Every structure is written in structure tokens, then in C-alpha cells.
Structure 1
Amino acid sequence: MSRQHVDHREIAAFAQDKVNLPKDWADEYRAQARRLRERLETYLDEHPDFSLKRMQLSGSLAKGTALKTLNDIDVACYISGANAPHEISTLLDYLAERLRKAFPNFTADQVKPQTYSVTVCVFRKIPDSYFTKSRTGISVNTGQ
């Protein structure tokens, strides 16, 4: 009984089919995060009482290491200011409340504070012609 060896071509094909996130999917996920960030920035421009320093794509999608099984998109949110809560759970509730106001068409179930992030669930059509539920986790870093 002889063994069959797996060559580079077979490994590359497996990675392409089962592991690697296709570029057009990654582009759509990045666009989804950008739309969220832009809408929130518009809201923040209209409401200067919310002290947001910066929002940026983070995590595996930002680093280009996302896998085909990607089920969330990380967006880091930097908040400061005298009125911003300092306790993490209170800060996440504060951010979730602002997100609900910035996105009035979202249901309450679409914006939920978690232990260390706020999850925003949206439905987007991705290039492979099927619908997927994406979770955009907004991580909060507190800084002075």
C-alpha cells in the first residue's frame, strides 16, 4: 500500500477554496465597516457632546489575516473627555446608546453591549450572492 503525498498545488487549492478570505469579500467587509464609521462620524459632527477621538478598522481584517470563516469585523473606537464614563461596562452602554441614536433604523437587538465590546449586527450581501449576518464588534479603548 503506497502513500499519496500532498503537494504544494493541492495545499494552495485547499487554502484558496476553504481557508483564505476572497479579496472581493474582504473589500465588502471593509466597506461595511467604513459605512458604519462614516455614519457614526456624521452623527458625531452633529452632536459635539460625544467625545470620540478616532475610529479605525482593527483585528484580522485590518491586518489582512482574516479567514474565510470570518464572522465579525473589529472597529476600534477611542473615546475621551470629562463626560465619558471610565468604567468599561458603563462606557460600553454609553457607546451602545450613541450607536442606537446614530442608527435609528437599527432594532434594539442589532446593537448590544458585550463584556468588552459593543456588537452591531447588520445584514449585507457579499459578492458570492448569498446573504450573511455580519457582526461588527466595536472595541473601546479608554485613554487620557
Structure 2
Amino acid sequence: MLGRTYDGEVCSLARALEIIGERWTLLIVRDALLGLHRFDEFSASLGLARNVLTDRLTKLVEAGVLERVRYQQRPDRFEYRLTPMGQGLAVPVLALMQWGDAHLAGPAGPPRLARHTSCGGGAIRAGLTCTDCAEPVQGGVELMAGPGAST
């Protein structure tokens, strides 16, 4: 059984969970992907205690997912922007949202839709694609040891 941390795990998923595995953290990332940047925006959206939000934002900055950017002086005020590392979380966040829509959405349907703005608004679907044949993967997935696996 895994403990509260995954320090001994040689697994990229376990390492990712060390950063984003706590539920409020992933919701902060979701809100950042939706365009929220300021502490008060995150606080209003999530409704969690200020000390918890402060802790989660600090950890995301330390991990390199967010950067703290000054937007005002006297008094200093900061906002939180996704780094390239944080922007890369759009795929897993959309995949989790897509999974939730398929299995957990209420009778009215999905609460949010993801649209591609560059082409005029086509629906965005997260999925698997083979790098060799460029075909969508429907099944037949095998996970095997990679070069970073311990022997």
C-alpha cells in the first residue's frame, strides 16, 4: 500500500501525484486553465479556507506549475500564471473532465464544454494516438518498463 507520499516510487504517475494529487490542487489548476489568476478569484471559485488556498498555491509555485507575477506595487499584489509545465496539465484535466462527463454528469448534461477557439469552436476531446500510425487508440494498450524503470 502506498503511504502519504510516493518518494520511493519509481513511477511518473506517482511523481505527478506528489504535485497535483490533492483535490484542491487540481481544481486550482482547472481554474487557472479557465483564466483565473488572482487569489481572490480562486477563493471565490473554490470556497476553501484562505490558509489552505495559500498552501496549495505556494506548493504549485515551488513545483513550477504556477509562477507568481506582480501586477501591482504599493501595495504589492501578485497573480498566479500557469508555466509551460502547468499548461501541460490541460490534457489530463480535460481527460478527467471528459471521464466525469461520461460517467458522472447529471441529467442536464456536462457542466462545461471544451471548445477549440482557433478553428471557431469545435469540441475538444482528449484521447490516445499512436505515434507510429497516427491512429486513435481504442484498446490494445500495453504498459511496460521504460528506460527510467528500476531493475
Give the TM bin, normalised by the shorter chain.
under 0.3
TM-score of the superposed pair, with normalisation by structure 2: 0.22
Q: Which has the higher contact order (CA 8 A, sep 6+)?
A: 1
TM-score of the superposed pair, with normalisation by structure 1: 0.23
Q: Which has the higher strand share?
A: 1
